[in-house]
Each structure stands twice: as structure tokens, then as C-alpha cells.
């Protein structure tokens, strides 16, 4: 009979399982993610993954849910940085880029592939939390009078530019001398200029 794992050990194994699933998913495609393959990747018995998840769809949803929550947490923490709105917005940008670089497979799975289980309560909650972070730093600048805009729309414009820069960096397709942050700085400056309040 398998040894009962502590809550911490269980969580650690779930995290390893999710990381392996994300890597296989983005490198080889959805069909490559099987419970047997995951067991092999982690060096455990073929039935072990079933102790943690019922099927691979549940694992992929867990990858997205965990990723969205960790992503949101990183951006929320960055928004608490000292400084004015623009400074805090840059901190959010830097946290975004750092997350994508450090968790590339999870990041790609979160945003490149169609959602499969939108009705999952934990996923919906994580998804809603992420949407809120998109507008949060813009709301700070609106409150300061730095920009005049719909926070959700301007937040999405900034996000779209940042996601594009990040994906180009991941693909190695940025112009020489640029990384995601420097390219995004140039792009978002124009966006902010357009959103300056009329005096």
C-alpha cells in the first residue's frame, strides 16, 4: 500500500506533474500528454498520476488555474511597489516578463491554446482574478490623472503589446538590441501619449 503523503508532499507532486504536462503540451502537442507519458517523465508508476488527477484534461485545467493564480500574484505584488503610477506600471511589466521567462511552458499553455474547461469553478476564479490585474495598474494612473481612459480597454492594449513582445522574445524574433521590456517601452509610450487627459 502506498505511503500516505503529507499535504506539502502532495502539493509538490501536483506541481511537478503540472510542469511536466505543460512542457509536453507546448513542445509536442495535446495528444502527447497522456497519463502514462507523465508517469514516465516523473519516474513513477503508471497509475500514480491518477491518485492526483482523474484524467489529462483535469491536469491541463490545473496547469492553467495554477499558472493564472501565480501570474496574478506576481503582478499584484509588483503593483504594491512604491512610486507613482507609471513606475508601478513598469514594475508590473517587469513581473509579467519575469513570469513568462521563468515559466515559459505554463505561460504559453495559458495564452496560446483554447480553453477546454471554462466551467471549472477554480479556473473561472483564477481567470477572473487575472482579468482584474490587467486593469489594476491602469486604475492607479487614472486615479492620479496621468491617463484618461477606460481601464479595461487600455489595460488590454498594454497587455496585447506586452504579450506580443514576450512571444517574439520567446521565439527569438526581436530586432537586434531589443528584449521584450525595451520593445514594450517604446510601444506603450505611444499608447500612454494617446491616453493623456486633455488639459
CATH number at residue 54: 1.10.357.10
Looking at residue 193, what is its pLDDT?
Answer: 82
Give the C-alpha separation, 47 to 26, whole Å: 24
Tell whether 130 is covered by a domain: yes
pTM: 0.89
Tell whether 2 is covered by a domain: no
CB atoms within 10 A of CB 101: 14
Tell whether 174 is covered by a domain: yes
Cβ atoms of residues 78 and 94 within 8 Å? yes
Looking at residue 3, what is its pLDDT?
Answer: 61
Burial string for 174-197 (b: 16+ CB within 10 Å, else e) reads: beeeeebbebbeebbeebbeebee
Place of cell 481612459: 149
Tell whether 105 is covered by a domain: yes
Tell whether 106 is covered by a domain: yes
- Owning domain of residue 68: 7-194
Give the C-alpha separation, 81 to 180, whole Å: 21
Maximum pairwise Cα distance, the chain: 73
Looking at residue 42, what is its pLDDT?
Answer: 93
Looking at residue 190, what is its pLDDT?
Answer: 84
Closest listed residue to residue 61, CA positions, set 106, 9, 12: 106
Tell whether 162 is covered by a domain: yes
Cβ atoms of residues 179 and 101 within 8 Å? no
In the chain, how many domains are there?
A: 1
Tell whether 172 is covered by a domain: yes
Tell whether 1 is covered by a domain: no
Q: Which residue positions in the chain have pLDDT lower than 50? A: 1
Amino acid at each position: 500500500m502506498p505511503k500516505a503523503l503529507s499535504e506539502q508532499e502532495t502539493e509538490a507532486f501536483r506541481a511537478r506533474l503540472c510542469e511536466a504536462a505543460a512542457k509536453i503540451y507546448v513542445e509536442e502537442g495535446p495528444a502527447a500528454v497522456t497519463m502514462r507519458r507523465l508517469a514516465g517523465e516523473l519516474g513513477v508508476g503508471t497509475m500514480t498520476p491518477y491518485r492526483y488527477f482523474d484524467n489529462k484534461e483535469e491536469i491541463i485545467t490545473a496547469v492553467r488555474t495554477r499558472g493564472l493564480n501565480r501570474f496574478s500574484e506576481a503582478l499584484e505584488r509588483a503593483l504594491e511597489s512604491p512610486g507613482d503610477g507609471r513606475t508601478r506600471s513598469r514594475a508590473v511589466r517587469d513581473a509579467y516578463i519575469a513570469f513568462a521567462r521563468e515559466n515559459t511552458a505554463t505561460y504559453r499553455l495559458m495564452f496560446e491554446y483554447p480553453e477546454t474547461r471554462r466551467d471549472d469553478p477554480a479556473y473561472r476564479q483564477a481567470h477572473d482574478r487575472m482579468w482584474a490585474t490587467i486593469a489594476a495598474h491602469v486604475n492607479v494612473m487614472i486615479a492620479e490623472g496621468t491617463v484618461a481612459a477606460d481601464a479595461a480597454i487600455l489595460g488590454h492594449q498594454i497587455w496585447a503589446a506586452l504579450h506580443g513582445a514576450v512571444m517574439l522574445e520567446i521565439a527569438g524574433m526581436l530586432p537586434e538590441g531589443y528584449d521584450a521590456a525595451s520593445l514594450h517601452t517604446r510601444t506603450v509610450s505611444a499608447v500612454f501619449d494617446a491616453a493623456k487627459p486633455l488639459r
